[in-house]
Chains A and B, each alone.
Chain A
Amino acid sequence: MANPQQQLARLAVGILTLTRGRLSLRATIGLCLAAVLYVLVLQPLAKQTLGISLPSLPAIDQPADKPAPQSRPAPERTPRSGAGSPTGVPAAVDPADLPTVLTDRGRGVYESSGGLRYTRGSQQGHRLAHVMAHTLDEPDRVGQHGVFDTNDPAEVVRLIDEAYGLALAGKQTTTQREEGRTIYTVNLRRRIGYIGGESGARKGHPSAQYLKLVIDGDRVITAFPLRP
């Protein structure tokens, strides 16, 4: 059993954490006073007069099922670099692990809710892995290498869907067509990443709010943040 001082300290921290913004100041103070009364008066009195050990107050922590808040990226953060990893690319991503954003169409083809298909292909072996190579900087890569702020594959897929939707609607988009490619440059009007690679490093990794989306029909070829 914890001593009264430890119980009170843990309890006070727990109460303040849990009730922040939910209870009025008066209610919070009342709750703390009740706890003090229990630990300092009721518990010793029950033990002295009745010989009963009342249970200690439990430590109140944040609920275990609530994920720890993820820190949001600073506007001009230190770039995540793949230079230190053996492959220079993020850990392998399996599109089958993203059932909320991608539907398995068989033979390695996954379709997003926005109607884009991610298929086998590219030097990474799958287009989703190719796109996810843009969640890490490659400081030695020639030219600019757009890097997404998020490294969550589901968020990246949703972002690309959002850009594709704007492109299909002809909003905030410039379109270029080559023989086997359609290239959309979509202004998402908010920061989505930054410019890495050799060129980005020279310029201090400027932020990017455009997304370049290269498709072949409805097949994603590549997508990455861009600063035109």
Chain B
Amino acid sequence: MLSIGICPVCAAGPLGLRQCGVCRRVVVLCDECDVAWRTDDPTRPGSYGQETMPCPGCSADLWTAGATWATREAVAATPWLVKHLPTLVESPAREPQR
């Protein structure tokens, strides 16, 4: 899992980069408290998971529906994420247990 920091909501979960399986956007997702943002600006409204984790772009479930952790290639193809490329933190991915 590639991440760009620690979640400002729960102060514990890494801000992972998740690629939606439907709209293919790369979004920022805290897998601890299930909050997602369209961009790296967490002051903008996010998307809050309950039984599903809606993509902030298209509302598809980020835990199913073909979503995956984003690759470096997907990150490089996302303009607002390019600046994070040199400082991305990579850690073992926890894939959904569903």
| A contact residues vs B (CB 8 Å cutoff) | 87-89, 92, 119-125, 129, 138, 140-146, 178-181, 183, 198, 212, 214, 216, 219, 221-222, 224, 226
Residue of A nearest to B49 (CB): A121
A119 with B51, Cβ < 8 A, contacts A142-B89, A179-B46, A214-B33 known: yes
- Main secondary structure, interface of A, reads loop
Contact assessment for B92 and A88 in the assembled complex, using a CB-CB cutoff below 8 Å: yes
- Min Cβ gap B52→A in Å is 7
Contact assessment for B12 and A144 in the assembled complex, using a CB-CB cutoff below 8 Å: yes
Contact assessment for A88 and B9 in the assembled complex, using a CB-CB cutoff below 8 Å: no
Find A224's partner among B12, B46, B50, B63 (CB 8 Å cutoff).
B12
Find B49's partner among A88, A122, A141, A226 (CB 8 Å cutoff).
A122
Q: How far is the CA of A45 from the CA of B11 in the complex (A)?
A: 79
Residue of A nearest to B45 (CB): A179
How many CB-defined contacts (below 8 Å) exist between A and B? 90
A89 with B94, Cβ < 8 A, contacts A123-B31, A142-B89 known: yes
Residue of A nearest to B92 (CB): A140
Contact assessment for A124 and B35 in the assembled complex, using a CB-CB cutoff below 8 Å: no
B91 partner residues in chain A, CB cutoff 8 A: 140-142, 198
Residue of B nearest to A198 (CB): B91
Asked if B96 lies at the interface with its beta carbon under 8 angstroms from chain A, I say yes
Please list 13 pairs of residues, one from A and one from B, whose beta carbons are closer than 8 Å in the complex, sorted by A's number: A87-B97, A89-B97, A92-B97, A121-B51, A123-B63, A123-B94, A123-B96, A181-B35, A212-B12, A221-B34, A222-B32, A222-B33, A224-B12
Asked if B76 lies at the interface with its beta carbon under 8 angstroms from chain A, I say no
- Min Cβ gap B63→A in Å is 5
B63 partner residues in chain A, CB cutoff 8 A: 122-123
Mask of B1-13 contacts with A, CB within 8 angstroms, 1/0: 0010010011111
Asked if B95 lies at the interface with its beta carbon under 8 angstroms from chain A, I say yes
If A183-B10, A221-B49 are given as contacts, then 18 extra A-B residue pairs at C-beta distance below 8 Å, sorted by A number, are A119-B50, A121-B34, A121-B51, A122-B53, A123-B53, A123-B94, A140-B92, A142-B3, A142-B6, A142-B14, A178-B35, A179-B45, A181-B33, A181-B48, A214-B9, A214-B10, A216-B48, A222-B34
Interface residues in B15-61 by Cβ distance below 8 A to A read 31-35, 45-46, 48-53
Find B12's partner among A119, A125, A145, A180 (CB 8 Å cutoff).
A145
Q: How far is the CA of A121 from the CA of B49 in the complex (A)?
A: 8
